[in-house]
Amino acid sequence: MKSLNKGGTFTSSLFNLAAVVSLTACFSVKAIDTRIDNVRLYQPLLKSFSQPSRLYIEEGKIIEVASLMQPKKPADKVIDAHSKYALPGFIDLHVHLGASGSNYAEFQYLPVESHFNSNLYLGVTTIVDLFSFDETLNEARGLALQQVTPNLFYAGTLFTNPGGHGTQFGGGALEVTSDDAIDGLWQQHMARNPNITKAIIETFGGHGESLTDNQLTELGKRSEVAGLPYFVHVSTLEDGKRAIKAGATALAHGINSESVDDEFIKLMVDNQVAYIPTLAVYFNHSDENKNQAISRQSALLKTVPEKLKSCLFDKVSAPSKWKDIAWQKRQIAYENIRKLHQAGIVIGTGSDAGNPYTLHGVGLHNEIQALKESGLSAAEVLNAATLNAAKIINNEQRLGQLISGFEASFILLNEDPLKDLSALDDIVEVYKSGQKVNRKQLITKNQSIEPKGVDCHIKAVTGEQVASVIDDFSGMTKWQAISDKMMGGQSTASIEQTTNILKISTSLGKTTAFGAWAGAHLLFQNAVDASQYQGVKIKYRGSNIAFGLSVYHSEVKDWDHFSTNVTASQQWQTLEIPFKRLKQFGYGSQLTWSAKSLSGLSFVWRTTPGGKSAENSNQLELAELTYF
């Protein structure tokens, strides 16, 4: 059958039908979501960038990487990357979303949203929370339903010894009291649907008893059966060896103050254990105190609220003794990394963000720079933050590379970071699961979030000179009962005011990481000047054990008040305690004593941090409290 066209020639109607079908088919081809042209992709196995290529993204995943010589495929969105350098989104293997990176002494709280925003702004598209409060996880889940967020892997709470590291923060750490207790604790662990198991080996300077080898091994076996990576927190060489033998798949924290030996290296190699040194949390405070290293990174701090920056950087306190020692021994930490790398150990990046001076997002960039300082090449450092980190959390099939089938999360840079890692300070764009992150909006959002906490750097002023009587116990002053319950402990305290006598009753519970403690304190309404006196005089009776008297100095911000012990007495006794007898314990910032700005005092019963429980009850009566 034929038909006549406008020109008077005959054409086949079958030909016309085929043309229509062909045209319809062209219009019905579904375009790909996004095509990115002229992008150089990091190739971790080759430790180099590709020639400018095309990246096809569909439903948040990379579906094809193609040469520019190949025909273009249609896409709903086409982006010209202008030969920028693309890195897979970074992975931080150690964060704490419940903390902001502020000093503990002037603690500032920020919501999870702030930490998510800071990570995304700096190209950290996957984070691993290694101690998650339930309320923190719920907050994170809610945010993931409303906005673009980093991938979140979590351990839930952690396994630790009774009163061990982790219990001081509350949140229901899983305390292994016996081998038989593990089954019930494991059920609690799995009920949180964790991605990781975390256990603690930490004896706090030799005090207390850590988890046993049997307990650590049992947790390792259960993690293996459940398909969960098993991270073990360690700090010493011996604890590192114990963790490896117990089945750890990764060491959370490195061996940073003593040299690793051949036995340790062999154990790591034979058991294929990964190493996450967390140099940032060890070095950042000291580096800021000595070199202003963190505050100078203005490009990395744009999402950090101004109040938090002021609290951290305007007046940098001296770091704690253990951090100062770690800083002085940092060459040992660097040398350990070099040895392990040469032995073929997988090294990953973890910042321990949330701890003082280790900010979310920024901390991971600090860790990258610290790994560079250890002697790793730029490519080896980038692999630690991408491919290696993905392997450590068993996600090397979808994260850590920019190849077909992997998540389309990546960073675009103008300059080649293999030539200079400082190129990471100048991120141009960030994509999370194929979506471009609005980095300017993240800055605006975070700067609108006011950290919740005290005003920082309140200068101690000389108070007004005071009369000799501190309290005549007529009931006009307001004493407060205090105990370790505020930090997850079980001790209790109560006070009772009778005629001209204050009775303090305490019961010490089991020891925690900071010991068990209970007592009462009196906070002055304003700082006072007692420099015209020599000390404090008390008339007292009672108590079964010695107790501590602390005189608060308004410049002490870390609870390391000036204190001394007072002997128990069953008979009324009047005791003069000279100010010169008061000493700081030594774990906080050391100050020169002055009685010109006193802010209160306390009577406290306590046990040794991490030591054996000394559960007991005490009652103390005070009938006189004056300066002399």
pLDDT band at 584 (very low <50, low <70, confident <90, very high): confident
- Strand-pair partners of 251: 232, 275
pLDDT tens, position by position, 532-551: 999 999 999 999 989 999 99
pLDDT band at 207 (very low <50, low <70, confident <90, very high): very low
The upper half-sphere exposure of residue 31, i.e. CA atoms within 13 Å in the direction of its Cβ, equals 10
Using CA atoms, how far apart are residues 106 and 11, in angstroms rounded to an integer? 87
Q: pLDDT value at position 4?
A: 37
Which residues are CB-neighbours of 553 under 8 A, at least 6 positions away?
460, 561, 562, 591, 593, 594, 597, 598, 599
C-alpha pair distances (Å), 570 with each of 446, 533, 542, 550: 58, 28, 5, 21
Three-state SS for 359-371 is CCCHHHHHHHHHH
- Strand-pair partners of 427: 413
**Percentage of the chain modeled with pLDDT above 70:** 90
Nearest to 4 by CA among 17, 13, 14: 13
Residue written as token pair 């709903």: 76
Once rounded to an integer, what is the mean pLDDT over residues 460-474? 83
CATH code of the domain occupying 464-627: 2.60.120.430
Once rounded to an integer, what is the mean pLDDT over residues 314-335? 89
- For residue 22, count other CB atoms closer than 10 A to its CB: 9
Q: pLDDT value at position 2?
A: 36
Phi-psi region of 603 (alpha: psi -120 to 50; beta: other; left: phi over 0): beta
Parts of the chain belonging to CATH 3.20.20.140: 93-399
pLDDT tens, position by position, 222-241: 999 999 999 999 989 999 99
- DSSP letter, residue 280: H
Task: Give kind and range of the element (H or E) at residue 78.
Answer: strand 75-88
Once rounded to an integer, what is the mean pLDDT over residues 398-421? 98
- Arithmetic mean of pLDDT over the chain: 89
Q: pLDDT value at position 17?
A: 41
CATH code of the domain occupying 93-399: 3.20.20.140
* pTM attached to this predicted model: 0.76
- DSSP letter, residue 101: S
Asked if 329 and 257 count as a contact pair (C-beta separation under 8 A), the reply is yes
Once rounded to an integer, what is the mean pLDDT over residues 274-283? 96
Parts of the chain belonging to CATH 2.60.120.430: 464-627
Rg (C-alpha) for the chain, rounded Å, is 30
Nearest to 70 by CA among 118, 35, 41: 35
Nearest to 264 by CA among 297, 290, 242: 242
pLDDT tens, position by position, 364-408: 999 999 999 999 999 999 999 999 999 999 999 999 999 999 999
- For residue 435, count other CB atoms closer than 10 A to its CB: 15
Q: pLDDT value at position 615?
A: 60
Burial 361-377 (b: 16+ CB within 10 A, else e): bbbbbbbbbbbebbebe
pLDDT band at 28 (very low <50, low <70, confident <90, very high): very low
Once rounded to an integer, what is the mean pLDDT over residues 282-289? 94
Three-state SS for 405-449 is CCECCEEEECCCCCCCHHHHHCEEEEEECCEECCHHHHHHHHHCC
Asked if 392 and 276 count as a contact pair (C-beta separation under 8 A), the reply is yes
